[in-house]
Structure 1
């Protein structure tokens, strides 16, 4: 496999990739912290500490959207560097991403996990989301080749 494509990610596309990547990265936190806050809130309400209990319950509801808002705010600072015309050269061993401002070469072996979604391939190093490739940048044949490459690298027992 060896092909080159040009595309320009949109701010909305980057925001969706970020949201999907962080949601997968922080899945446990998205569930565990609100559950813990709600449980503590119920305990406080039962103990008569109404103000604290209500505050904890509000925190349980507000935490997930607040986390997403914070991540998007941080990402907005990078949009000027990400949402530019980009050339991707994809090969069997990795890819190169070239813009007017930077050139990055990455080996597929660097990623411990690559999750395919209908819109993106999301890249993880350990449990940390580290980037994405948009499917729309590739034609159907190229998408199939990438899906096959990534499926072949999946660890045994993962599905």
Structure 2
């Protein structure tokens, strides 16, 4: 059975991170953007990370420029923005595509496992969130409008 831990993703720093290194943790996988109306959610995502990381939880941020060109920066610019504006300390990855022929294999898996409204697999916008259980399976999918704090109960249940 495939799990999130079967994938590898490039980090903002340029290295590859096998997600197997996070095996056994509860994860929140989010496609992010620096120039989006939902960008302030970085603050809530960081708060969740700081609240639960010592209990085996991590937020994984995947910058994406597919929605309104809202993540146009280089890896260095994205990293600088996240740390300067929102003091992000959770793992951030290299910019990826989440839809289409060049979608990252991790996102193909996530979308297939938890389709959105009316069975649509496509990611509709930035800050779509996938909550992953300790076995690497997709527990739930949440719309961009779902505030990070609203996920606390679900995270606690999986911890």
Which category of TM-score, normalised to the shorter sequence, fits these structures? under 0.3
From the CA coordinates, give the structure whose radius of gyration is larger.
1
- TM-score, scaled relative to structure 1: 0.26
Structure number with greater CO (CA < 8 Å, separation at least 6) is 2
Higher strand share: 1
Higher helix share: 1
- TM-score, scaled relative to structure 2: 0.26
